[in-house]
Each structure stands twice: as structure tokens, then as C-alpha cells.
Amino acid sequence: MTAGLGALYRRRLAVALNNPIAITGQLLLPVLWVLVVGPALARAFGRFSHVDYFTYIAIGQIVFIIPFSAMFAGLVVIQDRNFGILRELLVAPIRRSMIPVANIATVLTIAMGQLALIVALSLIRGAHLHVAAGRLALGLMAAALLSIATYALAELLAYRITQPQIFGTLIPAIGATPYALCGAIYPLATLPAGVRQFAYALPWTHAVAVLRYGLMGGPASGLHAIWHLHSNAEMALLSLGVLAAFAALTVGSALRAFERATVA
Amino acid sequence: MDPVVVRALTKTYPSGVEAVRGISFDVRSGEVFGLLGPNGAGKTTTLGVLTTLVKPSGGTAMVGGHSVVADPLAARGSIGVVFQDSVLDNEFSGEANLRLHARLWRVPDADARIAALLEAVGLAERASDSVRTYSGGMRRRLEIARALLGRPSVLFLDEPTLGLDPIMRQELWHTVSMLREREQVTVLLSTHYLEEAQNVCDRVAIIDQGKIIALGTPAQLIDRVGREMLELRVEGDPNELLGALRELGPTVGEPLLAAATVSLASSDSPEELSTRVTSLEPSRLGVRTMTVRPTTLSDVFLILTSHGTGREAAVAGASS
């Protein structure tokens, strides 16, 4: 059933790791935020807030790097198709659905590595994380689901868009725009009411709220702003449900697009 | 059962284009079988169906004893494919490309198999180099080695020598021939280079407009149109000459006009043909030079794909 998954996963991981410039380039901005911009903003504005602002935006960087990297990884799909590698994989004696599944697994692996790097750098730079096993698991699940969903979205688009330069314009649009609206760097309560309601519907918003609950603990204000319930765990699970639904929708759509794009 | 069996195969794309219109053929074990045809004839679609990249609209296609529709996984397990365009992971070395393929095909004893095939295609010393540094011929040889890794029963070669210089083409066919013997593999290829097909293929099928219009050994196909080829270089209006040539009788085929050259195939001997044409007083008809030479597969191809007539005769015995 899953024959070939390991080989495809290793190949895709090797393609990614063979391109250290791309990985470094994607990490540059969040690392800059965690090491330089975050502490500077915390010094400038932290005194107006009761929360640890540096830790707040350090975790917010996770919902930048994961979708951005996922969108960027969609370019490999276009490259594989345009250079014929996909055809070579399609004539292998494996279930073809293993190709996008292996791609998703690879991007998820890289996302978890990036998350670990951001958390490690944040701790070095003085972030205060309050981790408990259950909450941490919820946070990791939120990051994983966001990674799966956004990469599946990238893969879906990559099967419809043949030109990498057009796909390239979508990388910042999808990879970075929701990040600016999801409460990663400021509380959503400061937004106008209409925009705020839109922001609450974004899966990115749910991801950052669960990540903060998972890694910072405390009052889970992000989750409260969305759900207005009493139980933090219950709200976190609801937000995970939103992320899971988003992931199911994009993965299902990507698999259908893959099938349509690969069999004449 | 023959390694490739195709019966009444059809393919109509959603756009309405009928790419393949009821073709049937078998490829026998161990033979090199060529699919020839002009652009858009249906060769690539046929190879696409046989390699499970294209879903047929009707008919059946069996590869390695497996239906490409009912059991595509098993069908893919019995094939190796070399695509028209070079398809290599440029990020990796030659050996790494083979290793990935070996994992996907679950090749037992992969290290030894990779080493043996790299040696066989003359790339052992460049195995660890990035394939970016390979020449076109080296890339092709590596792709052939890769296609053979899984010990396929059928090797598909889609225009394998396209874009290669004549020396590389010769080397490649030598490699294919040597590996075919060594690996005991059946080869199904498509090519535009008809002189190569004549030299390499045991049998060929000529496809035109989605149908097989001729099938047999190159010698059989040449016999069907005539072993001798007459070429007349003309000046002025060739219509009178064409009319006179058509009166020469049933041993002479339909004359073809290309630029200022009229050519026709004949089953007459070279001497008979020369005598009969000379009797027409060719210089009076604008003929400046006359040549008689053996008919080639290229001539057969041109005759069969240029004419609406004569196809039925050539197809006769196609299932043999």
C-alpha cells in the first residue's frame, strides 16, 4: 500500500537539503525576527503590554516560516513536472498517490526542523516558554496541520500553474499575507471589527493561538478572543479541528488535482 | 503470451482529438519493435497507454502479461522507460539517480546491479559526478541503465536518439543492442530516424492518423512497395512526366513529387526500370538526372504516409 513512500520521501528530502541556499533564505527573516527585530520591538513596545512581547512574537514567527516554506516547496512540484521527473515517478510500480503524500511528509519534516530551530533560538535569546507535555503536543499538532494544509495548497496550485514565475508571485501572497493578519505580531483586538472577524476565520490565526497556548501557557488570550469559552483545552481542540478541516480540504483537493494532472 | 499485446486500442482525448483509432499489434519476446510515424500520428499516445501514462478509451493493452488498465501497478513493474526528453534528477550524481530508481523498483542486490549497469554503459568512472556535467550521450546511456535496473521484460524507448550527434547515436544503438542481448529484454521504440529503425528493428509498424498502415520486417515493407527506387530530377512542369510514369504499369508505384525530384518505387530490376524509363524519352519530359537505388525504409515511410491509396495492400498481413 505504501510501497515507494520511503524512496520518494528520501528523494524529496535530498532535493530540499541539496539546496541549502533556499533553506537558509527562507529562515533568514524569522531568524532575524527572533534574534534582532523581536528583542528590539520588545524593548520599544513591551512596556505597554503585560505579556512577554518577545516570546509572543517569537512564537508568531512559526506561522510565518511554516506556510512560507510550504509555498516555496511547491516550486519543486513545478520543476519536477517541467523537467520530466514526475513522468519518471509515474511509471514506477508504486501507487501514484504516494508521490504527493511523500512530498507532504517531506515538507512536514522540514517544518518541524524549522520550528525546533526557532524555538531554540528564541530560548537562547531569552524567550520564556512554559511547556507541559499535553499543551506542547497540541502546539506541535497545530504546526503540523498548518504545514500539511499550506503545502497541500501549494501542491494544488502547482498542478494548475505551469510557470514558476507566476507561482512565485503566490509565494508571498499566500505564504506571508495571512501571517500579517493572524495575530502573529500584534493582538487581533486592535484590528477594525470587520477585518477582525475575517482574521478569526483564518486557519493561521487558530494555529498561532494554539501554538501560544502550547508553548507559553497562561490565559490563552488568542483562543479566548476566537471562541469565548472557559476551557482552554476545549478551545485548543476546536482550533485544531479548524486546522484539520483546512488540511483535509487542501489535501483532498491536491490529490484530485494530482490525479487530473498526471493521467491523460 | 507475447510481452506486448495490443488489440483494437483507441484513445480519444477530452478535446475530441482521436489520437489512436483501433490499432492492434503484438511485440514478440526478445525482438526490437519500432513504431514509426509522422508527428501527431499517435506513436506517443500509444507508448503513453503502454506505460500507463495515458488511459485508453477502448480496446485492450497487455504489457508483461498484465492489463495496463486493470493492473497498472503490475504492468509498470514489468517495464523500463526512456523518455524522449532527458529525465534525470540534475541535483544528484549518476549513481544517486540509479539508487532512487532501484528503491522505487525494489531492486534486489541494488549495489551490485547499479555497479554492473554503470560499467556496461561506460559510466562507472563518472558515477559519482553530478549528472549536470554529463554530455547528452552520457545522460541517455545513464537513462537506459536506469530503465534496465528493475530487470524489465519490456524496455520502451521514446525517440532515444533525438538531439544526439551521429556518433553518439551509433554508440547508443550499440549500447542498446549489447544490453538487449545481455538482459534478454524486449524493446519497443519510437523514432524519427528511419535508417536507424531499418538497422535496429526486427519489425516495425508505421502509424499514420492513429492507424497502423503497415507492419512487418523492414525487408517485408520494402518488398511491398518495390525494392528499387527511381529518382528523376526535373526542370519545368513535371505533370507530363508524372502522367507518363503512371502509364508504366503495375510494377511501378505511384510517383511522388518533392521539390524538383520525382521518385517512385518499383519491383522491377534496376536494369528493367532504367530501360522502361529511358523509353519514355525522359529528357523530352524535362528530366535532367536519373538515379536508381535500393529502396529504404524512409522511402516506404514517405510513400505510405503520403498516399491515400495503396495502404490496404501494405497493411495486408499486419497481424502476421
Q: How far is CA A61 from CA A65, A141, A247, in A?
A: 6, 16, 20
Contacts of A28 by beta carbon, 8 Å cutoff, 6+ apart: none
A1 min Cα distance to partner chain B (Å): 11
- Alpha helices by DSSP H, listed for chain A, are 5-17, 20-32, 38-45, 53-60, 62-82, 85-90, 98-124, 133-160, 164-175, 177-181, 193-201, 203-216, 221-227, 232-262
Say how many Å lie between the first and final Cα of chain B, rounded. Answer: 15
pLDDT value, residue B313: 36
Average pLDDT on A62-70 reads: 92
Contact B89, B28 (CB under 8 A): no
What percent of chain A lies above the pLDDT cut of 90?
67
Out of B89, B106, B150, name the one closest to residue A85 (CB).
B89
Q: Among all chains, which residue has been given the C-alpha cell 499517435?
A: B42
Give the number of other CB atoms < 10 A from CB of residue A191. Answer: 16
Whose CA is closest to B154, among B123, B189, B121?
B189
Out of B13, B77, B96, name the one closest to residue A93 (CB).
B77
Contacting residues of B for A262, CB less than 8 Å apart: 53
d(CA B253, CA B255): 6
d(CA B64, CA A130): 61
Q: Among all chains, which residue has been given the C-alpha cell 532515444?
A: B160
Whole-prediction pTM value?
0.86
Give the number of other CB atoms < 10 A from CB of residue A215. Answer: 25
Nearest residue in chain A measured CA to CA from B156:
A91
d(CA A115, CA B258): 69
| Chain A residues with a Cβ under 8 Å from any Cβ in chain B | 3-4, 6-8, 10-11, 14-15, 18-19, 83-85, 87-95, 262-264
pLDDT value, residue B260: 85
d(CA B71, CA A103): 25
pLDDT value, residue B138: 93
Q: Among all chains, which residue has been given the C-alpha cell 502522367?
A: B243
Lowest mean pLDDT among A17-26, A198-207, A224-233, B69-78: A17-26
What's the full length of chain A, in residues? 264
Contact B183, B148 (CB under 8 A): yes
Say how many Å lie between the first and final Cα of chain A, rounded. Answer: 23
pLDDT interval class at A237 (50, 70, 90): very high
Q: Which of B91, B143, B162 to mutate to test the interface with A (most CBs of A within 10 A)?
A: B91
Whose CA is closest to B30, among B145, B138, B135, B154?
B154
Partners of B232 in the beta sheet? B262, B290
Give the number of other CB atoms < 10 A from CB of residue A48. Answer: 7
Per-residue pLDDT of chain B (320 residues; tens, 9 = 90+): 899 999 999 999 999 999 999 999 999 999 999 999 888 899 999 999 999 999 999 999 999 999 999 999 999 999 999 998 888 998 899 999 999 999 999 999 999 999 999 999 999 999 999 999 999 889 999 999 999 999 999 999 998 888 888 888 888 888 888 888 888 899 999 988 888 899 899 999 999 999 999 999 999 999 998 999 999 999 888 888 888 888 887 788 888 888 889 999 999 898 988 888 888 888 888 889 999 999 999 889 888 887 543 343 333 333 33
Lowest mean pLDDT among A18-27, A162-171, B193-202: A18-27
Task: Report the complex ipTM.
Answer: 0.83
Largest Cα–Cα distance of chain B, in whole Å? 73
d(CA B20, CA B42): 6
Q: How far is CA B196 from CA A69, B181, B188, B220, B293, in A?
A: 48, 18, 14, 16, 18
pLDDT value, residue A47: 66
> B12 and chain A: CB distance < 8 Å anywhere?
no
pLDDT value, residue B307: 54
Size of interface A-B (CB pairs under 8 A): 68
d(CA A157, CA A77): 10
Q: How far is CA B109 from CA A7, A165, B115, in A?
A: 16, 42, 10
Contact B194, B298 (CB under 8 A): yes
Helix then strand then coil, in percent of chain B rounded to 5, is 40, 25, 35
User: Could you please report the per-residue DSSP string of B270-316?
Assistant: HHHHHHHHHTT-GGGGTEEEEEEEE--HHHHHHHHHH-SSSHHHHHT
Q: Are strands B32-36 and B186-190 parallel, antiparallel or unpaired?
A: parallel
DSSP element (H, E) containing B169: helix B166-183
